[in-house]
Amino acid sequence: MSEFVGHFFNALTLGAIYALIAVGYTMVYGVIKLINFAHGEIYMFGTFLGLMAVAGLGWHLGFAIILAMAGCAALGAAIDAVAYRPIRGSSRLAALITAIGVSLSLQTVAQLIWGANPRAFPTEGLPAFLLRPVLSVAGAELLGKELLVWVAALLVMLLLHLLVAYTRIGKAMRACAEDKVTAALMGIPVNRVIAVTFMIGSAMAAVAGVLYSLKAGGNISFRMGYYPGVIAFAAAVLGGIGNLKGAVLGGLLIGFTQALCGGYLASQYDFAFAFGLMIVVILFRPWGLLGRPESARA
Amino acid sequence: MSIAARVFLFPALLLVGALVAGCGQEAKEKKPAGQGQTPIRIAVACPMTGSGAAFGEMIQAGAKLKAREVNAAGGIAGRKLELVVEDDRGDTSEATNVARKIASDKSICLVVGHFNSTCSNAAKDTYNRVGIVQFSPGSTNVDVCRGSPWTFRNLYRDDYQGTFQARYARNVLKLSKVAVFYDNDDYGKGLMQSFCEEAAKVGLEVVAREAYIRERTQDFKTPLIKVKALAPDGVFVSGLYNEAALIIKTARQDLGMNVVFMGGDGLANDTLVKIAGAAAEGTYITTPFLFNTGQDSPEAKEFFAKFKQAAGRDPDTWAALTYDAVGMAVGAIRAVGDDRARIKEWFAASTAPEKGYRGVTGLTYFDREGDCYSKPAYVARVKNGQFLPAEKQLLDIK
């Protein structure tokens, strides 16, 4: 029982992190139909910024996360302005290749700045409650850092929902997702809306990066973004790419599959189980669990 | 900013970045040839990026120190020694590419490398086909030298190391139930197997064998929850420092597992302590060589001081083994010149103590396969963030 509860807590933590990353993929896809393969690298930059703030400047983790979010928002907007906006009208394939190029470039830049050796958040520099158990169920403990992941993910998702559903910019985003040309004709500054979309998705990736690194105990290196990026992309596809609730659902499902199948079957195949689930779902619903078929969307 | 400016700005920035990086590569170890003669070139192949990058740093530093000393003393028969450093990223396909590049460059007469066993195994076909000596200062997998006449190494094999560790765990640490985590590559699997085989013989129960994949497995909580439920009294990690650090840290800090942690020489790097912090305290590792044993040879003491002065940090096992590997290569070239085939004959003939090379890490000579049996395994334990000799060594097993 203790083991199961432990896996359950872990699954929820992993799922929340994947959901945070997946939302970034899905928002960008929803608005400009681009799979932003540089998203994993934005996640990586965010984690490094957080690490620099905590380890280098001695900041409190909370402020470090805010700095990482702000830095990544700026980076997201800059990437959009420099790499994606100039080729906005061209084919989706061109944008996709550009995204891969941006991803490789960011990895190289990160390696030049921070070197190739993996790093971790220094335990001494973090608030003490992160490593303390805050809840104990049937002998399985929930640590402060895991609770932080849940709370942060919930809070960020809630804010995002409010933003998209009830604000002017949220309305503009939905309009752009539906039909960019008509939105532009109605006087919506499409490019600015896209930039904001990138900024929000990137800030969420920063949160995910810092939290994942705290949860796993390290892994901060210039290549850290690749696998979480791929997993979160699968989560976004599974939930229905372009759909925010789908990304959250997909992230959680992948987190649970990975943790439970990894825990009870074979841990080295945890990725295979997660991707297997995605394949099964898209065999029957190619548009994902909560997505809409392409024809209905247009 | 106009669109045109934006389109050009990003590639321009990248280009500047690439140039800066490129200059760094070019500047490495290029020295003017002595008296207008062509330099003698040795390749050093190791991971400079990827999850073994910290090993690569020490390997390069060790090799460079030796090269600098050789050149300061007049080079090899008046010719300068030049190192060609190549990055194999600890990755098999990249190791093959690097091997092709090195083998096809006729000015290179020998390769010191690779580090990861899985890379040495992947690269050795190329070196054998073309005919250039591959001399590894780090690969311990059993198969590295087997059936590969051009491959040699100056440290023990994993069957020795794994056997040694299983006995140490049972007889010295008195463990009875261990869980094993292993990296799913040649090194991790080979060491895990020899550890488990010997464990069965000495009555050490292996309750779990958990594989992971370097760089891909980033979170070890799932397998550790499983392992904790099996209540082992020790955890053995057959892999490299980064993953080992995460395993130890998660187990100790997050799951409160109060067990003995052990690992092979893949853990022998400070990054283990940097990542795991206080959780790494008390971890046992085996290594082919160790400083500060209290019985350090004069060579080891001298090297320690010289390295610290040159590199600004303490040397580790890999720096010392690479320093010796380059030293032995220089000895070969001094004796027979820079012909690849004659260098190989010299290496193949170094089969007895009196024909061996005495360096910092002891005496190096080979058996018929090119394996080195002349060095023992040491046990180090992390204390105050440093790898110090464990109270009990076990030098007498054969």
Confirm if A107 and B89 have CB atoms less than 8 A apart: no
For B93-112, letters b (16+ CB in 10 Å) and e give ebbbbbbeebbeeeebbbbb
Better-scored residue on pLDDT, A253 or B25: A253
Residue B299 burial (10 A CB sphere; 0-12, 13-18, 19+): middle
Interchain contact, B212 vs A218, CB within 8 Å: no
Share of chain B above pLDDT 70, in %: 90
Q: B31-156+298-364, what's its fold? A: Rossmann fold (3.40.50)
Interchain contact, A112 vs B17, CB within 8 Å: yes
* pLDDT tens figures, B29-62: 444 444 568 999 999 999 998 878 889 999 999 9
Size of the A and B interface in Cβ pairs below 8 Å: 121
**Radius of gyration for the alpha carbons in chain A, expressed in angstroms and rounded:** 19
Confirm if B268 and B238 have CB atoms less than 8 A apart: no
Confirm if B287 and B380 have CB atoms less than 8 A apart: yes
- Distance CA(B63)–CA(A5), nearest Å, equals 51
pTM score over 0.80: yes
- Going by the DSSP 8-state scheme, the letter that residue A266 receives in this structure is -
Q: How far is A30 from chain B (nearest CA, A)?
A: 24
Taking 70 as the pLDDT cut, the residues of chain A under it are 294-298
Using an 8 Å CB-CB cutoff, list chain A residues near B57.
117
For residue B262, give the 3-state DSSP assignment.
strand
Amino acid A282: pLDDT:
92
Residue B6, pLDDT > 60, answer: no
Q: How confident is the model at residue B395 (pLDDT cuts 50, 70, 90)?
A: low
For A191-226, letters b (16+ CB in 10 Å) and e give eebbbbbbbbbbbbbbbbbbbbbbbbbbbbbbbbbb
Phi, psi of B233 (to 5 degrees): -105, 0
The domain spans of chain B are 31-156+298-364, 158-287+378-389
| Least confident interval from A172-181, B22-31, B90-99, B147-156 | B22-31
| Least confident interval from B52-56, B95-99, B138-142 | B52-56
Angle subtended by helix axes B117-130 and B186-202, to nearest 10:
120
Amino acid A224: pLDDT:
94
Q: How confident is the model at residue B1 (pLDDT cuts 50, 70, 90)?
A: very low
Amino acid B25: pLDDT:
46
Phi, psi of B209 (to 5 degrees): -125, 110
Amino acid B35: pLDDT:
52
Instruction: Suggest the residue from A5, A18, A82, A108 to mutate for an interface test with chain B (most B CBs closer than 10 A).
Output: A82
**Radius of gyration for the alpha carbons in chain B, expressed in angstroms and rounded:** 22
Interchain contact, A82 vs B9, CB within 8 Å: yes
Interchain contact, A120 vs B277, CB within 8 Å: yes
Strand partners, A96: none
Using an 8 Å CB-CB cutoff, list chain B residues near A258.
222
* pLDDT tens figures, B200-223: 999 999 999 999 998 889 999 999
Is the confidence metric ipTM above 0.90 for this complex? yes
Query: Long-range contacts of range B95-102, CB-CB < 8 Å, 24 or more positions apart?
Result: B95/B45, B95/B119, B95/B120, B95/B122, B95/B123, B96/B122, B96/B123, B96/B126, B98/B45, B98/B123, B99/B45, B99/B123, B99/B124, B99/B126, B99/B127, B100/B126, B102/B43, B102/B45, B102/B132
Residue B104, pLDDT > 90, answer: yes
Using an 8 Å CB-CB cutoff, list chain B residues near A5.
none
- Distance CA(B358)–CA(B200), nearest Å, equals 37
Chain A interface includes B130 (CB < 8 A) = no
* pLDDT tens figures, B242-262: 999 999 999 999 999 999 999
**Nearest-by-CA chain B residue for A263:** B222
Residue B227 CB partners (closer than 8 Å, separation 6+): B179, B207, B208, B210, B235, B251
Tokens 């990755």 — which residue?
A: B91
Residue B174 CB partners (closer than 8 Å, separation 6+): none
Q: B158-287+378-389, what's its fold? A: Rossmann fold (3.40.50)
**Nearest-by-CA chain A residue for B224:** A263
* pLDDT tens figures, B106-123: 999 999 989 999 999 999
Q: How confident is the model at residue B94 (pLDDT cuts 50, 70, 90)?
A: very high
Amino acid B29: pLDDT:
45
Angle subtended by helix axes B186-202 and B158-167, to nearest 10:
40
Interchain contact, B3 vs A112, CB within 8 Å: no
Residue B239 CB partners (closer than 8 Å, separation 6+): B181, B182, B183, B187, B188, B212, B214, B263, B264, B266, B267
Q: How far is B272 from chain A (nearest CA, A)?
A: 10
Chain B interface includes A83 (CB < 8 A) = yes
Instruction: Suggest the residue from A191, A231, A267, A270 to mutate for an interface test with chain B (most B CBs closer than 10 A).
Output: A267
Confirm if B323 and B360 have CB atoms less than 8 A apart: yes
Torsion of the alpha carbons at B269, B271, B272 and B275, rounded to the nearest 10: 180
Facing residue for A117 by CB, picked from B53, B218, B228:
B53
Instruction: Suggest the residue from A4, A219, A264, A273 to mutate for an interface test with chain B (most B CBs closer than 10 A).
Output: A219
Mean pLDDT over the full length of chain B:
89
Amino acid B327: pLDDT:
96
Name all domains of chain A by residue range, CATH numbers in brackets. 2-297 (1.10.3470)
Ramachandran area for residue B35 (φ above 0: left; ψ -120 to 50: alpha; else beta): left
Q: Do B31-156+298-364 and B158-287+378-389 agree at the fold level? A: yes
Tokens 């008509």 — which residue?
A: A182
Confirm if B257 and B198 have CB atoms less than 8 A apart: no
Q: How far is A166 from chain B (nearest CA, A)?
A: 33
Mark which residues 242-301 of B lie under 8 Å from A by CB: 242, 245-246, 249-250, 253-254, 256, 271, 274-278
Using an 8 Å CB-CB cutoff, list chain B residues near A263.
222-223, 225-226
| Least confident interval from A200-209, B50-59, B325-334, B345-354 | B50-59
